[in-house]
Amino acid sequence: MNIVIPAERLAGEHRVAATPDTVKKLVAAGHAVTVEQGAGLAAALPDAAFLAAGAGIAEQRQAMLAAADIVLAVRMPEAADAAALKPGAVLIGMLAPYQNPLLPQLAAQRVSAFALELLPRTTRAQSMDVLSSQNNIAGYKAVLLAGQFYPRFMPMLMTAAGTVKAAKALVLGVGVAGLQAIATAKRLGAVVEAYDVRPATREQVESLGAKFVEVPMSDEEKAASGGVYAREMSADFQVRQNALIAQRAAAADIVITTALIPGKPAPRLLSAEAVAGMKPGSVIVDLAAEAGGNCELTRAGEACLSPNGVHLVGLTNLPAMLAADASSLYARNLHTFLGLLLTPEGLKIDLEDDLVAATLIAHQGEQRFGAAARPAAANHDKEPQHG
């Protein structure tokens, strides 16, 4: 197959969908690999490294895409790039299926598009789970950003001039990003507590040395929150939840929020009133900023101060800030996923494979995800993302 890796055009997106290591494996399997000139430079991967691995380097983006059998991308290509793809081409990446306006176009062009955010959280899918690999990086970077804006030390320090107290960190949402944030904050010496709507995460939180804070729940609410993914809860529960979070945030120096609901705006966990109750100099890093924010005052893509001096950090796409390792992990995820499609006989899209079927959002002229999906694929619209 002719596999191509375009440079990412989205502002601030420094990752690349392949590395010399994955290119070498694809070339060894008999595939031709072409990388757009400069695609890996921001991830510390120069063109010479791809050439040494056996890839070709292309200067003409549209011609490269038009000749592709398989396109490996980080984000959804622009409309003009998508239009260049030939019928039967395969597009694989994080294609934002819940907000992707190009789905009808991809279907009309008979492109087979795979959105890897839709991979189910199963043991078999772990090695291709792009959300887990990238959210792990985001959780780590969130703590480093908090340390950048926090005007004090994070660990307790005993000095000749006196003792400095350890920072208190509160992590809201105990998915992959939240767990990494807890672990990183602990390594840097903070006193950490965490909250998640799922009581079952208590054991994970405590295993990392943090304290789990919990909203009292009825049996019905416990049943609703017992799954792998966070769900929307009742209005009464949200009132109790927000009161507890406001109380804990007021005592915290650093708050990191990670809560997301698939296909919907991020749940509001911190109101303007809760922020007003926090200490001057404290920091909120909102990892849900791109989905509307867990904090009412978050501005996506910005870092600003609240009227009472709380740092509100809504910077987005934190994995791209660590582009070298983010690209390395992401490229391995994609290479593993390609193993489901590439056989000795060529490309095979097996709709009986649960991972293939879950991620395939357009195929053979049909849109398979969203409101326009055919009935047989309508259940895909309810497939949860995970963070």
Catalytic residues: 121, 126, 129, 132, 229
* Strand intervals (E) in the chain: 2-5, 32-36, 56-58, 70-75, 90-94, 112-115, 157-159, 162-164, 168-172, 191-195, 211-213, 254-257, 283-286, 303-305, 311-313, 342-343, 346-347, 360-363, 366-367
d(CA 188, CA 67): 49
DSSP string, 177-214: HHHHHHHHHHHTT-EEEEE-S-GGGHHHHHHTTPEEE-
Degrees (nearest 5) of the Cα angle 232, 238, 241? 115
Question: Structure tokens of 225?
Answer: 């929150």
- Whether 347 contacts 85, CB under 8 Å: no
Strands 191-195 and 211-213, sheet pairing: parallel
From residue 114, give the alpha-carbon distance in Å to each of 23, 338, 357. 20, 11, 9
d(CA 109, CA 204): 45
Helix pair 20-28, 323-338: axis angle to 10 deg: 20
At position 249, the amino acid (one-letter code) is: A
Provide the 10 A C-beta neighbour count for residue 354: 14
N-to-C CA span, the chain? 33
- Whether 45 contacts 19, CB under 8 Å: yes
d(CA 371, CA 369): 7
